[in-house]
Amino acid sequence: MSLLRQKIEEVSRSLLPVIALVLVLAFTLVKPGSDVIIRFLIGSLLLLVGLGIFLLGVDLAMNPIGEHMAAASATSKTAFGVAALSFLMGFLVTVAEPDLLILGEQVESASGGTIGAQTMVYMVSAGVGVLIMLGTFRLLRGRSYPVFMGLAYLGIFVLSLFVSEEFLAISFDSSGATTGALTTPFILALSAGLSRIKGGKTAEEDAFGMVGVMSAGPMYALMLMSIITGQSNIQGEAAPFEPASGVLSPLMHLLPDELFKSLVALLPLSALFFLLNFTRFKLGKRELGRILKGLLYTLLGLTLFLTGVYVGFLDMGQIIGRSIASSYSWLLPIVAFGLGLIVVLVEPAVMVLGQQIEDVTGGRIPNRIIKITLSIGVALAMTGSMLRIMIPTVKLWYFLLPGFAAAIVLSFMADPVFVGIAYDAGGVASGPMTATFVLAFAQGAAAMTPTANVLVDGFGVIAMVAMAPVLSIMVLGATFKRKAAATQRQEVHHAQAAPVLAGKVEFYDCVVAILNRGLAERAIELARDVGARGATILHGRGSGGHDMRMFNVEVQKEKEAVLWLVDTRISDQVAERLYHGLDLGGEGGGTVFTIPSGAMGLNNAAVDVEEAAERTEVAGFAEVAEVADVVEVVDEYKNDQTDELSDEPQRVEAEQESGDQP
């Protein structure tokens, strides 16, 4: 229950600003009926609880399923096996994606039935399956991701010249709606599993990008459908908007309907997993039980989430868009900017992606930075969408063409790990909240703007939301790369200035660094620059599932502790190098301190605590260690380093005699 409470608290921090903004608009400018406001509050509660349960289910079920599926695909003995399984996974997880079903129904309604919802769903799912298949081959064979995506979008730009504005908007919108609450966690886990199996130096980069790959599939599918069938324009009359009436009756009608849709959404992929488990995986009962439990959580959470969105947010989005466009049209860009800032933070896939980025990169790319970048990008995209509705001469491709073109160019200039993250972010930002609330807001605004066309201007907002994060995170990636290059130049300078010590080593200090997970190897390299040799890494998760405590400091599961035994004459320099090189005072989020350990090999491990506190001068380490803590950890470190310590005096003397630096 603690995990569930943690998830709900995380969701509430993102959802409460959305609720507050909508209520402010409802009581000042829009003034909808009381039943609409009550339904919105009920829907918000369902969304809060449902999203928390859903995210817990993703951790327990969807991530393990994706990793096992990745293993099955990557270890297939033939290329046909890899292709068939990859296509099947992409098709099955997309054909029942709730966001895509929502968009299909909205397109069918807006086009007067010209484009059937089921036809659109199957075409889009086939396109996703093909792109997932190609993306899997690219990853396993180590082909360049920026080149792959550049060629993919070049083909899309060529096809866009032969389709109408209506098909262009719907094609790009379907790309965003495909990467929803169900598909995104699965595809993220799939790409992470494939990257681990492939391994190599690019494993961190390969863990991201598959969501971006699948986003291109729907655009190819619908544009080719338009070209092949010769249907260049969509003719039809949009169905009139009629908000639901009452409070409990819409809820009672939607809840069983969404339960059935969620069950259908999970069933095909679950069936494929259990079939492969019977023939290949053969998981133990405990792990299988955990996955079953996670699937139930996912089903329940998805049902509550979608019910809350439909009950509370769909009608409210239309009403807000219609009211502001008819009475305060000049406020449309401002309101859209505010909604864009906060709505994207409620997307379930954004939360999943942000956490996975932080985990895979060991905290090098914090979740907070990704969320801020996405929020600003989506806000600007929604503002541009409102300007497109208000100004008839502004077309969708004015934004999409230069935006994606700039993103492709930046992909060759950004830190490689950011490239996959950027394309993934474009998909995850356009999830259930965008496919319902934001799209309804845009359609309502277009319906009440005399110069706008609902089929042309009412759609396309999802495409804008999907494009903006790609561009904004590419800019962030280019910034990170420049910063990394400057840091590397500084490291070379430090390495060249590494001390050359003469004489026999008489005393050693224990240098301890507590760092975000994944930074240990980097810390070892930095310490080596100033003369430290060897290290021991301790992970935050100790025995029995409890967090480790070191020197009265709790080392949490997302942390690592690294210990060095170094010459007393350079211990302060090592600590300083770690503190500044890892930015422990800022984004690095850790600490480093030194402990005097006595002469030659920690013979006097029970050091005086006051002396240890006096020597602890780097990184603001405020805790005073207890003697028992010092003895326990230092003794463990001594046991690990016994062989190295016994050889240390001879090695140092030999290096000094030969003229090498110790």
DSSP string, 581-604: HTTTTTTT--EEEEEEEEETTTTT
Q: Which two tokens stand for residue 611?
A: 């002396």
- Which residue would you say has higher pLDDT here, 657 or 395? 395
Q: Which two tokens stand for residue 447?
A: 């319906």
Q: Where in the chain is the domain with CATH 3.30.70.120?
A: 501-658
Q: Which two tokens stand for residue 404?
A: 């994606």
Fold classification of 501-658 is Alpha-Beta Plaits (3.30.70)
Angle between helix 117-141 and helix 165-178 axes, rounded to 10 deg: 60
| H runs (alpha helix) in 142-181 | 145-160, 165-178
User: How confident is the model at residue 472, as a pLDDT?
Assistant: 82
Residues 6+ apart with CB under 8 A from 98: 180, 181, 182, 261, 262, 265, 302, 306, 432
- Which residue would you say has higher pLDDT here, 620 or 611? 611
pLDDT tens profile 543-582: 444 555 555 555 555 677 888 888 888 888 888 888 887 7
User: How confident is the model at residue 229, as a pLDDT?
Assistant: 74
CA separation for the pair 182, 431 (Å, rounded): 10
Half-sphere exposure of residue 615: CA atoms within 13 angstroms, side-chain side: 24
Over residues 100-108, mean pLDDT: 75
Residues facing 554 on adjacent strands = 549
Confidence of residue 293 (pLDDT cuts 50, 70, 90): very high
Instruction: Report percent pLDDT > 70 for the chain.
Output: 74
User: How confident is the model at residue 532, as a pLDDT?
Assistant: 81
CA separation for the pair 472, 425 (Å, rounded): 10
Angle between helix 315-327 and helix 2-25 axes, rounded to 10 deg: 30
User: Helix, strand, or coil here: 143?
Assistant: coil
Q: Are 384 and 447 in contact (CB under 8 A)?
A: no
Whose CA is closest to 227, among 216, 236, 219? Answer: 219
Residues facing 547 on adjacent strands = 541
CA separation for the pair 281, 290 (Å, rounded): 15
- Which residue would you say has higher pLDDT here, 423 or 638? 423
| H runs (alpha helix) in 235-284 | 248-276
Predicted confidence (pLDDT) at residue 620 exceeds the cutoff of 60: no
pTM of the model: 0.62
Q: Strand 553-555 to strand 507-516: parallel, antiparallel, or no bridges (unpaired)?
A: unpaired
pLDDT tens profile 622-645: 333 333 344 444 445 445 444 444
CA distances from 334 to 330, 363, 380, 505 (A): 8, 34, 10, 67
Residues 6+ apart with CB under 8 A from 202: 142, 195, 416
User: How confident is the model at residue 523, as a pLDDT?
Assistant: 84
Task: Report residue 654: phi and psi, to 5°.
Answer: -65, -40
Over residues 92-101, mean pLDDT: 77
pLDDT tens profile 111-159: 666 777 778 888 889 999 999 999 888 888 888 888 898 898 889 888 8
Confidence of residue 617 (pLDDT cuts 50, 70, 90): very low
* Range of weakest confidence among 396-405, 522-531, 532-541: 532-541
CB atoms within 10 A of CB 639: 10
pLDDT tens profile 211-261: 888 888 888 988 888 888 776 665 555 556 666 777 788 888 888 888 888
Confidence of residue 296 (pLDDT cuts 50, 70, 90): very high
Half-sphere exposure of residue 99: CA atoms within 13 angstroms, side-chain side: 33
User: Helix, strand, or coil here: 510?
Assistant: strand
CA separation for the pair 650, 3 (Å, rounded): 53
Q: Are 110 and 75 in contact (CB under 8 A)?
A: no
User: How confident is the model at residue 112, as a pLDDT?
Assistant: 66
Q: Are 252 and 241 in contact (CB under 8 A)?
A: no
Q: What is the DSSP letter of 623?
A: P
Q: Are 481 and 414 in contact (CB under 8 A)?
A: yes
CB atoms within 10 A of CB 643: 8
Task: Report residue 391: phi and psi, to 5°.
Answer: -115, 110
CA separation for the pair 609, 598 (Å, rounded): 13
- Which residue would you say has higher pLDDT here, 551 or 374? 374
Q: Give the DSSP H/E element, type plus range, for residue 515.
A: strand 507-516
CA separation for the pair 11, 34 (Å, rounded): 26
User: How confident is the model at residue 232, as a pLDDT?
Assistant: 60
Q: What is the dihedral of CA 219, 220, 225, 228, to 10 degrees?
A: 140
User: How confident is the model at residue 159, as a pLDDT?
Assistant: 87
Q: What is the dihedral of CA 51, 52, 57, 62, to 10 degrees?
A: 50
CA distances from 302 to 54, 265, 294 (A): 6, 10, 12
Question: In the block, which residue shows the tokens 């289910």?
Answer: 57
* Range of weakest confidence among 65-79, 227-241, 611-625: 611-625
